[in-house]
Amino acid sequence: MVKKTVKKIIVGNWKMNPATSKEAEKLFTNIIKFLSVLKKTDVVVCSPYIYLDKLEKISKKISLGAQNTYAGDAGAFTGEVSAEMLGNIGIKYVILGHSERRAMGENNSDVNKKVKSALSSGLVPIVCIGENERDENHEYLNFVKTQTEECLDGISKNMIADVIIAYEPVWAVGNSAQRKATAEEFREMSIFIKKILSDKFGVKMVESLRIVYGGSVHPQNVLEFLGDGGADGMLVGRDSLDSHKFAEIVKITESFNK
């Protein structure tokens, strides 16, 4: 079976940055300025909620995403933002199940509800999965399998291709990282995840599904993960706040040929 060609995707996760709307607009504008015509790469910037509406009006060249959403519809849910609200201001993507959200108590069931809500509102969910540690008994495989199955439970076969999986091993992320993940480790995990989803939804339904890598992504390791790792893109944290570095990551991806 010939795999349907899909664009690579680079997603920038600004997290709780920057501090002001002016800084956010400058960063977003600079990223756009540094990028030429994009033909083979989808680019998404996921900023804090309060900047999304204004950034959406600046340029349509790259897409915008949110970093989280609420699973329910409009109602008495103080402090929450629904997927429908995001879609109504032109947002196309949303990160769900990030390890930092899970560290605050979010579980697979919560993520599953949010995925369903996002899909029903026309958003593309970027579902984060990844183990906390790599044990010698390979129990981490069961951990990732459970995450994948429970987060996508009840999703219809026709909708699974609209989901993006972001594999982000917690042990390789941030200042407390135990070590860097390798492209080979990502490739193995990507194949494993595709097998789980193929068993659940059928090979044909997941052939176009994109699995991206996240975890200390920078211009120096992008080519390794795209090439040796076979990644469909990258989820970029810290370097998405540097317009030069983020643009370089996009340019490397755009020029990449399998």
pLDDT digits (tens, 9 = 90+) for 140-186: 999 999 999 999 999 999 999 999 999 999 988 876 777 889 999 99
Please give the mean pLDDT across all residues of the chain: 94
Question: Residue 168: CA atoms inside 13 Å, Cβ hemisphere, count?
Answer: 29
Per CATH, domain 9-16+43-255 is 3.20.20.70: yes
pLDDT confidence band for 5 (50 / 70 / 90): low
Q: What is the pLDDT of residue 236?
A: 98
Positive or negative, the CA dihedral 126, 109, 85, 26 is negative
- Poorest-confidence range of 8-17, 34-43, 141-150, 216-225? 34-43
Q: What is the pLDDT of residue 71?
A: 94
Q: What is the pLDDT of residue 4?
A: 54
Among residues 40, 251, 19, the alpha carbon closest in space to that of 27 is found at: 19
- Domain spans of the chain, in order of start: 9-16+43-255
Q: Catalogue the active-site residues.
A: 98, 168
Q: What is the pLDDT of residue 257?
A: 65
Q: What is the pLDDT of residue 107?
A: 98
pLDDT confidence band for 213 (50 / 70 / 90): very high
pLDDT digits (tens, 9 = 90+) for 59-115: 989 999 999 999 988 889 999 999 999 999 999 999 999 999 999 999 999 999 999
| Strand segments (E) across the chain | 8-13, 41-46, 63-66, 93-96, 124-129, 164-167, 210-214, 233-236
pLDDT confidence band for 2 (50 / 70 / 90): very low
